[in-house]
A and B are shown apart, each in its own frame.
Chain A
Amino acid sequence: MTTKQASPWGTALRQGITAGAIAVLLALMGMVETFNEKDIIEGVLSLGLLLVVAILVVFGSVTAGAQADARVAVRLAASALTGATTELFLIGLVILGQQVNLRPIFPNASPQLWELLQFGLTQPQSYFAMLGFGAIGGLLGAGLTLLSRRFRGPVIVGVIAVVMIGLLEDLIGITIASNPIFATSPLVETFNEFFLAQGIESGLSKRGAVVVFLVASVLAYSWPLLRSRARSRTQAMPPRRRHGLALAIYGVFVAVLLLLPNVLGPYLTDVSNSVMIFTLMALGLNIVVGFAGLLDLGYVAFFAIGAYSMGILTTTAVGDSSGQIVWGPGFSFWGALPFAVFFSLMAGVLLGIPVLRMRGDYLAIVTLGFGEIVRILALSDALKPFTGGSQGIVEPGLPTLGQVTASLNSQELYYYLLLACVGLVIFIAIRLRDSRQGRSWMAVREDEDVAQAMGVQLVSAKLLAFASGAAMAGLAGAVFASKVGSIYPHSFDLLKSINVLAIVIVGGMGSIPGVILGSLALFGLPELLREFSEYRYFVFGAVLVAMMLTRPEGLLPSAKRKQELHETLAPDGEPPPEIVAAPGGAGSA
């Protein structure tokens, strides 16, 4: 075989081999089979099939994208080859699986899996079908790269919309059906019949899928146009009206958030509450890691301190028959909350002092140890009279506000409480970020020594970062304790710290909208997609690796504030000087 450099066929084969290996792995892990039970589009596309198609399309488009200068026919053929190679691996797997019993090693290697991969066809024809299927999948991927940028985005958005709605179909159906406002309406009946397939886990109906795809892609297509038009229109407005409009938009947004529990129903409200607890923690960790650049792997410790403070101060189970817990002042929720926040804040300062001189990896290891120390202390016999050891604390206080809260069910109560906490914490985080303190943190993150040489007080900057991050985690922990109704040491393991760190990294370090999106994506989605539960950490890891390779700055990286031009130019109308005009500015290239 002649080895020409970057021959299209060589690339195609390489991509096909990678894709094939991934497909075989996913099949043997049982993902294809488990996911097959869930339909995205009724009778057409199951989630398991989608998984295979996604691999084919992604690698097909990679192959086609790598041959940017080749002729279209060559690109298409190369992608088809990639897809066919991928399926070749699956064919190999099927043949091997039918000859040898793989089940002792791979429990998921069942006859049903082989049948599924062969589309239920009999032996010889099925192989051709699989090869053809692979080629078509690869071609679809190549087709995506041939589309102009203007169309590619909307098509992808449309597909994602169909998949998401198809996945969440059950939830949407149940939410609507159980809602007292919508359930009785005859419109809902027709809506359900039109869009959603009947039956359990059956996804969208075919016409529903087409409509969703069209609506989503048309919206995505016209979005840039709409946005620029809206922008030019708002810029033409007098500042006063623009301000009013912004206020109105905020008002609508807040109103939607306040009314949301009525629409969502108890289950989804509860999911939102869990997401918001993670958001609170992630906002705090974002200050420590994202703003100040101090890698903290024991962040869960502050969450634990907040939760235990709430538990110990409010529990009503003191001196019960088991005799585990012997001390508890029996505060109310609101009485204990400031203490919980204060104690975690102090813990942040106490952790901060010994680690002031450490940075990077050393800091990570010490904080990791701190997190474990707190968990083990909570488990220890010495503190058992207070923390209850491994039996934990039950019946912590509930947040009540007389008449106001009595009318809410418990999910709604915590929803509003958490919403207020998240709002407050976002407000504080933004104010801190845009202040002298925020600049000092970022300077410390960029170069600690130089920051200090510029006059930044390292000690106070670091302690403030640890303390404010810890206080936010403590707040989250206190509400968590009350919401869950029991506190056990195993809720505070290392994994929780890692999860919160993953939110910050995936969302975009230092970006507040990123943190919110990150917690929705990493905790909201898996909570809703029960199919994933078994593979949650596998998907988690794969997503993290993929993110770091393709988008290391995160989903929504923090935007830099523009401060120089938009105000200096306004008074005297002086145009910004060209870069070359700055004396000595142009570097010799």
Chain B
Amino acid sequence: MAILSSRKVIKRFGGLVAVSDFDLEVQERSIHSVIGPNGAGKTTFFNCVTGFYRPEGGEIVLDGHMLVGLRPDRITRLGISRTYQNIRLFSNMTALENIQVGEDPHLRSGIVGAIFRTPRVRQEEQETLDEARRLLRFVGLAGLGDLMAKNLPYGSQRRLEIGRALAGKPKLLLLDEPTAGMNTQETAEMTAFIRRLRDELGITILLIEHDMRVVMGISETVTVLDYGEKIAEGPPSEIQKNPRVIEAYLGRGSAAQMN
């Protein structure tokens, strides 16, 4: 069953069509990758899903909720979290605070409660803190919680960003190039970690990735975008052989040579 489906999504920037008539069905509890050359419109599509951009046409549905036109925080509350291609942590807050901000959609305490620190608010704060510590351990950053996010090493920042996204208890997690800038070993660890997210937490994962070993290793379905259009979709083994995909990545000449 599809948890996220988009139909004929169009996003233009002036004369440039960044995403054009894009259809996508993401199956529940799957790991689904979106690949394509630079500028193909992958991140633009992510931004349409999470409400950063409003697409000019088409519809995006999560579990029966129409997403187009909703504010980003509403969409997050419906169960979508994301990470960013260029890490965007709250750099001058501690790692723990970063995760606590991610828990915000599930908190109820208001400003009056905060001033009087009622027992209910105090309990909620304690639970928030405990949950943040638990998530910190889960993403492998135990002991680093009181460091400022900007002082964490690069790989840890990527993990923290995922931890912050998990704090919103998402049904669907969008990861934008989670292994960018990592070495082979870190990439392997991250790949295993992404699989754990799906297997242990049952979160559906939609992934943008350039590293083909990661994409082919963990995805059940791969969708290929080029110039904003879907040119291929299917299991990794099919995608690897698809001539249009090879052409998009390597150019027409090379595709012909390989054939």
Contact = CB atoms under 8 A, between A and B. Distances in A.
B104 A456 contact: yes
Nearest to B159: A584
B248 interface: no
Contact of A455 (B73, B91, B93, B185): B73
B97 A568 contact: no
Nearest to A447: B88
Contacts of B50: 453
Interface centre among B81, B104, B190, by most chain A C-beta atoms within 10 angstroms, is B104
A7 interface: no
A587 interface: yes
A455 B99 CA distance: 12
B250 interface: no
Contacts of B159: 584-585
Interface string B30-53: 000000000000000000001110
Interface stretch (A57-65, A142-150, A429-437): A429-437
Given A442-B90, A443-B90, A579-B143, A584 B186 contact: yes
Interface in B145-183: 145-146, 148, 153-156, 159, 164, 168, 182-183
Given A585-B156, A587-B154, A560 B125 contact: no
A432 B92 CA distance: 18
24 contacts: A431-B117, A435-B114, A436-B109, A436-B128, A446-B90, A446-B92, A450-B90, A453-B52, A455-B104, A455-B168, A456-B73, A560-B94, A560-B148, A563-B94, A564-B94, A564-B143, A578-B143, A579-B153, A584-B189, A584-B193, A587-B156, A588-B154, A588-B182, A588-B186
B196 to A, nearest CB: 11
B69 interface: no
Interface in A12-49: none
B197 to A, nearest CB: 14
Interface in B94-150: 94-97, 100-102, 104-105, 107, 109, 111, 114-117, 121, 124-125, 128-129, 133, 136, 140-146, 148
A588 B143 CA distance: 19
Interface of B: 50-52, 71-73, 76-77, 81-82, 84, 88, 90-97, 100-102, 104-105, 107, 109, 111, 114-117, 121, 124-125, 128-129, 133, 136, 140-146, 148, 153-156, 159, 164, 168, 182-183, 185-186, 189-190, 193
A451 B140 contact: no
A367 B244 CA distance: 55
A455 B94 contact: no
Contacts of B117: 431
B164 A454 contact: yes
B145 A565 contact: yes
Contacts of A578: 143
Contacts of A446: 90-93
A577 interface: yes
Contacts of A458: 73
B114 A431 contact: yes
A579 B93 CA distance: 19
Contact of B111 (A451, A464, A579): A464
Contact of A440 (B51, B94, B101, B164): B101
B40 to A, nearest CB: 22
Contacts of A585: 140-141, 144, 153, 155-156, 159
A576 interface: yes
A585 B121 CA distance: 34
Contact of A583 (B93, B105, B140): B140
A450 B85 CA distance: 12
